[in-house]
Amino acid sequence: MLVPSDGVSNNSGKLVAALEQFYSEQVAKRKIIVNKRVEEVVQVAHDLMKHVEAQEPRCLSTLTQAGGRWEGLHIHSPNEYQVTIYLNQMGEFNLVDDGTVPGSAVLKLSDGRKRSMSLWVEFITASGYLSSRKMRARFQTLVAQAVEKSQYRDQLRMVGGTSEVRVRIRDTYTLDLVLAFKCYGIWPRSAAHWPELSLPWPGVELAAEVKMSGFTLVSRDCSHLAREKDKDKQEAAITAEGDTWVMVFTEAEDRLLTQGCRKKCLSILKTLRDRHLDLPGNPVGSFVLKTLVLYECEKHPHEWEWDTISLGDRINGILLQLISCLLCRRCPHYFLPQVDLFRGIPRQSLVQAASQAWRLTRDLLTRSEYLQQC
C-alpha cells in the first residue's frame, strides 16, 4: 500500500457519467486503431518468424490465435507492440532466483548435465548459465536478416542503438520480438511474500489460482537494474545481468483484474495516458498504470468498490497515487517491490510527468466536461 486510501475524495455522478461516455467513445476509438494495427503487426511477425525459423529451427513462432486474442501479443500503446516467442527445453536448467539482479533470475544447467548435451549449447556460459544476452544477440541477427528478406522489407527497419530486437513498421509504430521461457505452476522466491496475509484482497482462492498461472522469463536488457554502489561490484553486476532473465507476470496480473470495472478503469487510464502523459523518456508507461490499479485493488478490496458507480473514485485515486510516485521518484513493482519501475528514468522526465498528471487530475476533479474535450 503506497498512500492512505482516505486521500481520495468522493466524486459526483457527473464525473461517472462523463467517464462512461469517454469509455464508449474515446476508448472505443483507441481499440479500433489498435485492432487495425494488430492485424499488420501479426502479419509482419509471422513473416519475419518464417525466415527466422528457416535459419534457426529452435526459434519457432508461438503467435497463435485463441478465443479472439493472439497469444503472446502484448499491446503497450497504440504505437508499441510486443510479440513473445516461447522457447522449449527449459527442463534441463534449474531456476536460480537469488536476487543478484532484482526482478531477474538465471537458468543454470542441472547438476550432472553436460554442456555439450544441451539444445542451447552455444549460449551456455563456462559457469553453466544460459545467457540471455547471447541468445538475444543471435536472435537480433536473425531478425535483421529476416527484415532484408521480408515481403514487407520496404516498410520495415531495425531499430539500432539497443540490444533489444526491435523493428520499426512504416516509421509509425514499433514491434519488439522477445524470447521467453514460460514457467507454469511455480512461483518465484522473490515474490514469495505475496499476498500479504494482513490484506483482505485478493483472497486465498484467487491468490492460489494466480500463483498456479506461474510467470515468464523474458530476454530483456536489464543493466539498469544493477544497483551496487561499489564500482567493481557494479561492473560485475552489469556483467551478470547479461545472463539473467527478467521475470514477467502478465497472466497473473490479468487474472487479478478480471472482476468489476477494473479492466474498464485501466482502459480509461491508458487512453488518458496516450493523450496527456505520452512524454519524452516514457515515464508513465501502460505497465506503471496497470501496477497502480493493482495497488488500488489492495486499498479497496471490496467488490462493491469496483462497481461502475465508483469508477470516478478509483480513477482519481490512481492518478493521485501516480503523482505521489512521480514526486517520490519511485514506483515499486506489484509482485517484486524491490524493483523500481522508475529506475533509469531521468528526474526531469518524472517531474514533468508529475506536473502534467496533476493538471489532468485537477481538470477531472473540477470540470466534468473536460473529458469531452480530451
* pLDDT tens, position by position, 158-207: 999 999 999 999 999 999 999 999 999 999 999 999 999 899 999 999 99
Domain assignment present for 17: no
pLDDT(282) > 50? yes
pLDDT digits (tens, 9 = 90+) for 55-102: 998 888 889 998 888 999 999 999 999 999 999 766 678 999 988 889
More confident residue, 224 or 317: 317
Residues 242 and 270 both lie in one domain: no
Domain assignment present for 320: yes
pLDDT digits (tens, 9 = 90+) for 268-278: 999 999 999 99
Residues 223 and 283 both lie in one domain: no
Domain assignment present for 300: yes
Query: Of the residues 230, 248, 266, which one is the last residue of a structural domain?
Result: 248
How many whole angstroms separate alpha carbon 130 and alpha carbon 124?
A: 4
CA 306 from chain center: how many Å?
23
Helix residue spans in 249-346 (DSSP H): 250-256, 262-276, 286-299, 311-328
Q: What is the CATH number of the domain that holds 314?
A: 1.10.1410.40
Rg of the chain over all Cα atoms, to the nearest angstrom: 21
Residues 115 and 233 both lie in one domain: yes
Task: Give how many domains the chain has, as a whole number.
Answer: 2
Residues 207 and 289 both lie in one domain: no
Q: What is the pLDDT of residue 100?
A: 85
Domain assignment present for 221: yes
- Give the chain's length: 374
Residues 276 and 303 both lie in one domain: yes
Domain interval for residue 47: 35-248
Residues 288 and 189 both lie in one domain: no
Question: How many Cβ atoms from other residues are within 10 Å of residue 327's Cβ?
Answer: 15
Domain assignment present for 24: no
Bridge partners (DSSP) of residue 96 are 106
DSSP states of 189-221: GGGTTPSPTT--SS-HHHHHHHHHT-EEEE---
Burial class (CB in 10 A: 0-12, 13-18, 19+), 204: exposed
Q: In the predicted model, what is the mean pLDDT of residues 106-129?
A: 83
Domain assignment present for 242: yes
Domain assignment present for 130: yes
Residue type, 50: K
Cis bond leading into 202, ω under 30°? Answer: yes
Contact (CB, 8 A) for 175 and 78: no
- Classify 336 in phi/psi space as left (phi over 0), alpha (psi -120 to 50) or beta: beta
Q: What is the pLDDT of residue 42?
A: 97
Helix residue spans in 56-131 (DSSP H): none
Q: What is the pLDDT of residue 7?
A: 39
Domain assignment present for 20: no
Query: Of the residues 248, 275, 290, which one is the last residue of a structural domain?
Result: 248
Q: In the predicted model, what is the mean pLDDT of residues 284-307?
A: 97
Of 9, 20, 72, nearest in space to 45 by CA: 72
Q: What is the pLDDT of residue 10?
A: 45
More confident residue, 111 or 299: 299
Q: Which pTM does this prediction carry?
A: 0.91
Give the burial string for 137-164 (b: 16+ CB within 10 Å, else e): bbbbebbeebbeebeeeebbeeeeeeeb
Q: Which secondary structure element, helix H or strand E, spans residue 181, and what is its range? A: strand 173-183
Please state, rounded to an integer, the average pLDDT across all residues of the chain: 90
